Structure formats: C-alpha cells, structure tokens
Amino acid sequence: MQIQDEYVQRLVASLESLSERIARLAIGLGVRLDDQHAVQKLMDQSQIPPIATERRAALADGKMVFSAMSGDRRAAHLREELRGLLVLRYHLETVILTDNGLPLTRQIIEQAEEHLVHKGFKPGADGLDLDNFFNSK
C-alpha cells in the first residue's frame, strides 16, 4: 500500500504547487477565478504577439544591455502563464480522474486544497470551488 500512498502524495504535491501558482497569479493580476465570466474572458484572450524589436543591445565593450519589459507586457505574460496553468490543471485533473476514479481524485483534490488553506490561501483562491465541483448535477 505504500506505493499507492507515495503515488497519491506525489499527485497531491503536484496539484498543490500548480494550484498555488494559479492562486498567486490570479491574486496578483486581480483575476477573480470564482467568477466564471472572468475566467472565460481570460481564456478567450488572444495570445501575446512576439516581440517585434530586440530588447538587447551590445555596448562597445562587448557587454549586453537589456531594456526593461513594460508593465503591460509583463502583465500580459503573467496572464498567458495563468491561462496555460489553468489548462494544465484541468488536464491533470482529467487524467487523475480517468486513471484513478472519482473517490481517489476527490481525496487528492481535497488534500491539495487543504494544504493551500493551511498556507494561508482562502478556499477557492485557485478557482476550484470543491462544493460545486463535486456536487454539481
């Protein structure tokens, strides 16, 4: 049974760290993950266009100089990261459910959420409302 326990703990740890980063990004960006409309708006945003001009320049002495990223561009990168992590978490939850069934999946998700709350996050800060998630019809 120890192998199963180690496997479950690895899944809990993976889901917890993923959800923690999602919660931190959402808080920092002011994205309300408990609002389905706000999440849909985030997911519908187009990708960030590539940088048109190089931000690096070489000085005469061979040293490289980097120009700072604008605040808007930085926020756009963070929104892009948040979008990607949400998709990754949805995929991970789907794989866990497919491979392990609902009871074990529920245990894993609840443990990960419990760890986040213990770290000081409010329940659902990562956008996952456990009551609705498991009790929706």
Question: What tens digit of pLDDT does each residue of 111-125 get?
Answer: 999 999 999 998 888
Q: Which residue has the higher pLDDT, 46 or 40?
A: 40
Cβ contacts of 23 within 8 Å, gap of 6 or more: 33, 116, 121, 125, 126, 127
More confident residue, 9 or 76: 9
- Would you state the pLDDT for residue 12? 94
Segment 34-46 shows an average pLDDT of 87
| DSSP state, residue 1 | -
Is the confidence at residue 60, as pLDDT, over 80?
A: no
Query: How long a stretch of residues is the chain?
Result: 137
Average pLDDT over residues 24-28: 94
| DSSP structure class, residue 66 | E
